[in-house]
Amino acid sequence: MDFWRERPVFVTGGTGFVGSWLVRELVDRGAEVVCLVRDEVPAAHLNACGYRARVATVTGSLEDHRRLERVVNEYEIDTVFHLGAQTIVGTAHRSPLSTFEANIRGTYNLLEAVRAHRRTVTRVVVASTDKAYGQHEVLPYTEEAPLQGRHPYDVSKSCADLLAQGYAHTYDLPVVILRCGNVYGGGDLNFNRLVPGTIRTVLRGERPVLRSDGLATRDYLYVRDAVAAYLLAAERLQTLPRPGEAFNAGCEVPVTVLEVVRLILSLLDRPDLEPVILDSAAAEIPRQYLSAEKARRVLGWRPTYSLERGLRETTAWYREFLAER
């Protein structure tokens, strides 16, 4: 707890799904948090839980380099968590340019702002994802696997990841990269994602609709475990042998889409709502899951939530949230 007390921290994407949980934890640990906010979303988790009033917020976008540099300089930022991004695969497929602008340009803008104020910034954690690896035949993915995204979202994350490595190795920036599996939990208002979308549909008494064939396997990580990984990566950064290290964070248990949906149906006591399978999804990687051995060994991180336990908390969160709507 003392590590974060009165430490100036800049979080991009701080009002987003994962960012809001991270900000909550940082505030509870005494950090002085500044969030970059592009759009005002009244129902956002950070607003609903009351933590928005406990942080400084700067309105702006990742595409605005001057705004980013002003924040880093004027708030004398010590630690940066770069979670801001366009994170929806379908949105990226429909509009790749806006995704590239936010995820690629936004990342090098932030890294340039850090480079300009290297004397004050001591650590930068860049949020990557298993999608940055693209598709590989050898599973699970280790950190040595090449980054070879092929579809717009995956490409944007491959590029952002490589940019972070490039700035770390070229300019000796104190950067660490975290590649998470599919993060889920309460507070995710993108209902086109599997977990929140399924929960909302089932709570309405409707059959969940799957865009895929339901057989794609993924590594599902509960949001509290993801936040713990981000914090540990930042805390241990300066003990790492070199800047630009990457770590996978996942449960190492591949689960199919159908298995996740059926578990949600069971937790909500609606096993009668048989899923509708459209099998129409485009640009989907059939099988992905991560090895988190390096994170266990170097960072001392390991997930503490099973999928059932995480989904139990998640369904309870949405039941309460949606009942108020």
Catalytic residues: 153
Q: Six-digit token pair at 4?
A: 């974060």
Say if residues 120 and 78 touch (Cβ distance below 8 Å).
yes
DSSP assigned state of 261: H
Strands 217-222 and 182-184, sheet pairing:
parallel
CB atoms within 10 A of CB 128: 26
- The residues that bridge with 245 in the sheet, in sequence order, are 176
- Cα–Cα distance, 16 to 140 (Å, whole number): 28
Phi first, then psi: give them for residue 145, nearest 5 degrees: -65, 140
Q: Is 84 helix (H, G, I), strand (E, B) or coil?
A: coil
Q: Is 256 exposed, middle or buried (0-12, 13-18, 19+ CB in 10 A)?
A: middle
Q: Six-digit token pair at 28?
A: 């509870």
Say if residues 93 and 149 touch (Cβ distance below 8 Å).
no
